[in-house]
Structure 1
Amino acid sequence: MTETVLITGATAGIGAEFARQYAARGCDLVLVARASGPLEETARALRARWRVGVETISADLLDDDGLARVLARLRTGDRPEDRHAPGGTDGSAAAAGEPAPVTVLVNNAGYGLVRPFADNELDDELRHLRIHVEVPLALSHAALQSMRPRRSGTIITVASVAGFTPRGTYGAAKAAMISFSRWANLTYGREGVRVTAVCPGFVHTEFHQRMGADKTSVPGFLWLDAGLVVREALHDTAAGKAVCIPSVRYKVITALARVAPSSLVARLAQRGR
């Protein structure tokens, strides 16, 4: 069966790279992003190059209606009437014209706040927390309703090495998703659903420009290519790992962060993804 992969934040950076690499594997895609123009442009390019099916959902995941539409798409196929709908030779919902159930969820949407916690408006911090914790948890919950009955599925959440460091509310949010992924992979892995938190360091994407961070202060050797990040993520997910830390350099850095003084680690991690 062809995989159907739903990716949030799918038009740029790591999300767009996930879309390219899954399309290259012949997977159908459901792309989610706020801006409809870039979303449709991305979809057209993927269809033309890899001849895969690409659905699009233009939705702001911080908006209740937008989130509800994505949740509804993830729940397609989780009801008995969806799984056994009449209308095709095999009695399947897909044969009756129903969208294929999502078999892979990639939680990638997110952004950073450049100022420290107390310098931000509380509403900004709460929205930041929602996009990095509440939204991926909601999407993962919906995906599991469809994946568990099939005893098959994959949930990937783009976290960060910041989740292993004292790095403000961004690091705290990512630490929450790393912890959740570890638990969920143990719990739902027994039912055939793999759950992985991908924890990159600095990656050449639009992420830092959008948050207004200064990239020049980061040594060149610390920057990763999005292609490498996604390749390692897919490899480690297929191997059943709950946590993926792309590249040897960041595996070493993360190990050192566990034993180095917190004050030093916090300074080094200040602007990391």
Structure 2
Amino acid sequence: MIDTAGPKAPAAARLLPRPDRPALVRGTIIVVLLLLALFALPPLMNGYYTVTMTQVAIYSIVTLGLGLLVGRVGLYSLGQIAVLIIGAWTGARLLFGTGQPFIVVMIEAGLVTMIIGSLITLPALRLRGLYLALITLMLAGAVTVIEATLNFPNGGGGFSGYNGSLVHIPQIRRPSFAGTDPAYYRFSVIVAIVMFLLVYAHLRARPGRAWASIRQSEAASLAAGISTTFYKLWAMALASFVTGVAGALLAGGDRYLYSIDFPIQNSITLLAVVLMGGVFSLAGAVIAAFLQSFLPAMLYQLW
């Protein structure tokens, strides 16, 4: 008998999985958008929108950390502004007081906020929902009072580095390769990409599966042998780290930091925009950052 079906693929080839076309399309779109943001967008923006888009890139890291807690673990935190303040204060103090490279200062600010955020929130990890939100809001209020008393470093001496005379206040140092606003915008976008990749790697690995299980049912997770306290602390540490990096990045972006830049109501606003942007996808963090920074700036410009 003659086989008229034509040549057949080898058995090993038939067992290979087909490429995930939707994922490939999504990846291509993301790469194109990032290239546009890095190279095509800066020449089209004036100084005002360059600074605004820098804020969007920075706050996308903040909303990324908060979205991780809310959407992936089910922890409603209102203390991310407090973590951002600590990261900005630490970054500004190190940039004024040391000659370390800017990237090293960002990592150090992230580590400081990771340790402080984890230690402070550890006793509250048994709480959930409204109770955890209230505890973290009290933390944000306490940090706001402390930073209003100490003020942000502005080139002065001592522990706080605050110059009370407010005469000849130096600008917060930027990296040598990102001294201009367009260059610092590109640098902020690259840092944001790295932070998103860091969180994405966690979500695709064992911590991400544990967080998903905890969010669905903490009791079932305990029954399955998952250490809920350990993984919730891990999520809080990761969110605090990326927020601390954003704080140091914000210090270099603003060049001057004041206590009035971080009102306590921003904690509630930040949670609101994260919920509106979408907490179950990484793209929701970018949407939330646009709602947080770009939309008010655009409305102010139009007004």
Q: Same fold (TM over 0.5)?
A: no
Name the structure where strand makes up a greater proportion of residues: 1
TM interval, shorter chain, is: under 0.3
The higher radius of gyration belongs to 2
Q: Which has the higher helix share?
A: 2
